[in-house]
């Protein structure tokens, strides 16, 4: 992986045969020229959490017709953190809900989610310093 400044508040990331732009570390504006680094982090967590539901678990196909992951994060970041070099800018908590449309029972879906989060390198790394709480709900 390689990262280069691409002008303004953006950096271009190169990974294998892919490239994308990342904006500033975090943003509270309505729109920006590129997603923030925090948004990419939350997107990676959501993608990894929902990705596991596409595959077989314990030798049984998991019937799934749709999913949607939503993840608000509580940030302890402000303009003052950057202007006055305050050293406590961090994500305080990541919570997310995986909305799944499936004919599988809620207990089976919850078991798959627990397993997914247990073996997730992203969750394992983040949960050492941030409270990570992902739950599952069935959508109709």
What is the count of structural domains for the chain?
A: 2
Same domain, yes or no: 89 and 129: yes
Domain that holds residue 18: 1-30
Q: In this predicted structure, what is the pLDDT of residue 88? A: 65
Write the pLDDT tens digit of every residue in 81-107.
555 566 666 777 888 888 888 888 888
Same domain, yes or no: 17 and 80: no
Inter-axis angle of helices 106-119 and 37-51, to 10 degrees?
130
Identify the CATH number of the domain in which residue 132 sits.
3.30.300.20
How far, in Å, CA of 39 to CA of 42, rounded? 5
CB 23 within 8 A of CB 10: yes
Same domain, yes or no: 21 and 67: no
Same domain, yes or no: 67 and 6: no
Same domain, yes or no: 1 and 52: no
* Burial environment of residue 135 by CB neighbours within 10 A (0 to 12, 13 to 18, 19 or more): exposed
pTM of the model: 0.76
Same domain, yes or no: 10 and 47: no
CB 99 within 8 A of CB 53: no
């Amino acid at each position: 992986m390689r990262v280069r400044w691409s002008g303004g508040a953006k950096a271009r990331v190169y990974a294998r045969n892919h490239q994308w732009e990342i904006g500033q570390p975090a943003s509270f504006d309505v729109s920006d020229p590129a997603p923030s680094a925090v948004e990419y982090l939350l997107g990676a967590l959501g993608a990894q959490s929902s990705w596991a539901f596409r595959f077989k678990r314990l030798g049984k196909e998991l019937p799934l017709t749709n999913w949607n992951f939503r993840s608000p994060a509580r940030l302890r970041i402000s303009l003052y953190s950057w202007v006055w070099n305050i050293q406590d800018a961090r994500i305080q908590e990541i919570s997310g809900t995986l909305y799944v449309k499936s004919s599988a029972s809620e207990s089976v879906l919850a078991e798959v989610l627990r397993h997914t989060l247990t073996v997730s390198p992203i969750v394992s790394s983040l949960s050492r310093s941030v409270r990570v709480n992902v739950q599952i709900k069935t959508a109709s």
